[in-house]
Chain A
Amino acid sequence: MSVLMRSPATGQAQAGSCNLDLDRLAYGELTPEGEAEAREHLVGCDVCRREHEMLLLERRAFVARAWLASPAPLPDVEQLLARAASEPVSLGLRWQTALRRWSSPWRGAILQSVLGAFAVGLLLQVSHPREAQHGAMRAGAPGASTHARPIASAADRSTRPSDDNALPRANPESCDDFGEVCVDQPLVSTMMSMAALTDGGARSPDPCASGPQSQFADWSAQNSSSNELDSYVEAVCAPDAI
């Protein structure tokens, strides 16, 4: 361990710019090697030697001051222990103590990871609204869906480019036996259109369809083009889709 700043040219310690921890030297806190090196330096450096002597003098003066102050009698420790025991433990302190007892490096790491993942998830949820998702429900079959995701909730927006207003909508569609899709005008709201479909097909059959019709509602979190919707409903209508 080097405690001295030496001149690059001569290798001699530089007086006045010494990187020497005289305070630790005066209080005996340097390692034996560091102390030996420091003492060697003091022999050749008047500035450091004077400062070192000042620190030693100061230290002795404080020791003398402490000795000269005669000690006052101390309060009874039992009384202080009883006072400490009688003080209510605050909720904060209880939590703090419990956490400290529970905490360990690996537990801390796990907790941090879980909290971190939760925070990231929350941030993503807030900053990126749900991506466009389509779902479909066959009339009269609540809950049957091509997606694992449940049937639309009021929070799901289903909008069509042709829609004038921005109310959440579901788009009733029908599909006949030949797979021809007929897109109806959207109902007023998601809830209404869901109700129309889940009560067993309350809507009147579409006149443009041939044969038995399957009715669906699709929903989307984002605007979708008519073509996208149509192709989606066609896929849903496939015999093995639902």
Chain B
Amino acid sequence: MTLALSTWLASGDLVEVPVDDLAQKLAARAKSGDRAAMRAIYERYAPQIRRFVRDMLRDNAAADDALQDTFVRVFHHIAALDEPEHLAGWIFGVARRVCLEHRRHTSRRQRSTEPAQDSTDTADSSATPEALFFGTEAALALDRAVDQLDPNRRAVLLLRCDHQLSYEEIATAMGFSLAKVKVELHRARASLREIIHGGASR
């Protein structure tokens, strides 16, 4: 990273990210027990959450369990949601906690995790032109590099780069301050580049 961290952090140009009105309305309705709103939240966020928990757990079976646990908790606790405008951050935060519990549970049972490379995650040759442009190899290289990151940094990087959450939502999901989100993101990017460049130079 070429920017000096201190000056980067000192940047006061925080822009109000446009609030996702639909998500906010869905959250408000779901809080009052509207099941249709809960279904809509599921349809909107479940694919992203599945990818996130799979990236965090690196195990498809565990990811399926974690996805279900995440949404059961989301539906169960949605009445206690404080900030409907940060619905995405809140759901990702629940998913992250579920992943931590799964990992703890797995390590307690000393069960070896299987690599997350089953038939559902192999490269899809009918992907978009963008995916074709970058190629399967590049995506797999990125995937392997992400896998080597520290779990917290991996989560921050994925939330930003893969799921494109705002800093505020990442802070909600991770329970970090905005400053810490920026620092962790900066470090995650630096580590990722180091891993990729290290792999490429070998």
Contacts and interface: CB of A to CB of B under 8 A. Distances in A.
Q: Note whether A and B form a binding pair.
A: yes
Interface of A: 1-3, 5, 16-24, 27, 29-31, 34, 47-48, 50-51, 54, 58-72, 74-75, 77, 80-81, 83-85, 87, 89, 93, 96-97, 100
Contact of B2 (A47, A70, A85): A47
Contacts of B82: 100
Interface of B: 1-4, 7-8, 10-11, 13, 15, 17, 35, 38-39, 42-43, 46-47, 50-51, 54, 60, 64, 67-68, 71-77, 79-80, 82, 120-124, 127-128, 130-131, 133-134, 136, 138-139, 142-143, 160-162, 164, 166, 185, 189, 192-193
Given A62-B161, A66-B162, A84 B76 contact: yes
B1 A70 contact: no
A87 B121 contact: no
A80 B42 contact: yes
A78 to B, nearest CB: 8
Given A19-B7, A30-B15, A72 B142 contact: no
B3 A18 contact: yes
B68 A67 contact: no
B72 A83 contact: yes
B142 A19 contact: no
Contacts of B162: 62, 65-66
28 contacts: A16-B4, A31-B15, A34-B15, A48-B3, A50-B2, A51-B1, A58-B161, A62-B162, A63-B130, A64-B127, A64-B128, A69-B121, A69-B124, A71-B47, A72-B50, A72-B120, A74-B46, A77-B38, A77-B42, A77-B46, A77-B71, A81-B35, A81-B38, A81-B75, A83-B72, A84-B75, A93-B77, A100-B82
A22 B5 CA distance: 12
Contacts of B123: 68
A186 B34 CA distance: 75
A58 B134 CA distance: 11
Contacts of A5: 7
A16 B189 CA distance: 18
Given A67-B131, A69-B51, A2 B38 contact: no
B98 to A, nearest CB: 13
Nearest to A54: B193
Contacts of B164: 27
The binding surface of chain B is classed by DSSP as helix
Contact of A22 (B3, B51, B79, B160): B3
B139 A58 contact: no
Contact of B133 (A64, A66, A70, A75): A64
Contacts of A80: 42, 68, 71-72, 75
Among B8, B76, B138, which residue has the most Cβ atoms of chain A within 10 A?
B76
The binding surface of chain A is classed by DSSP as helix
Contacts of A1: 13, 15
Contacts of A63: 130-131
A174 to B, nearest CB: 69
A23 B14 CA distance: 11
Contacts of A21: 8, 11, 13
Among A47, A68, A100, which residue has the most Cβ atoms of chain B within 10 A?
A68
A100 to B, nearest CB: 7
Which 6 A/B pairs are nearest by Cβ-Cβ distance? A84-B75, A64-B134, A67-B131, A62-B161, A84-B76, A65-B139
A84 B72 contact: yes
A51 B69 CA distance: 39
A75 B49 CA distance: 12
Contact of B11 (A17, A19, A70): A19
B153 to A, nearest CB: 14
B124 to A, nearest CB: 5
A74 B48 CA distance: 11
A24 B143 contact: no
B161 A59 contact: yes
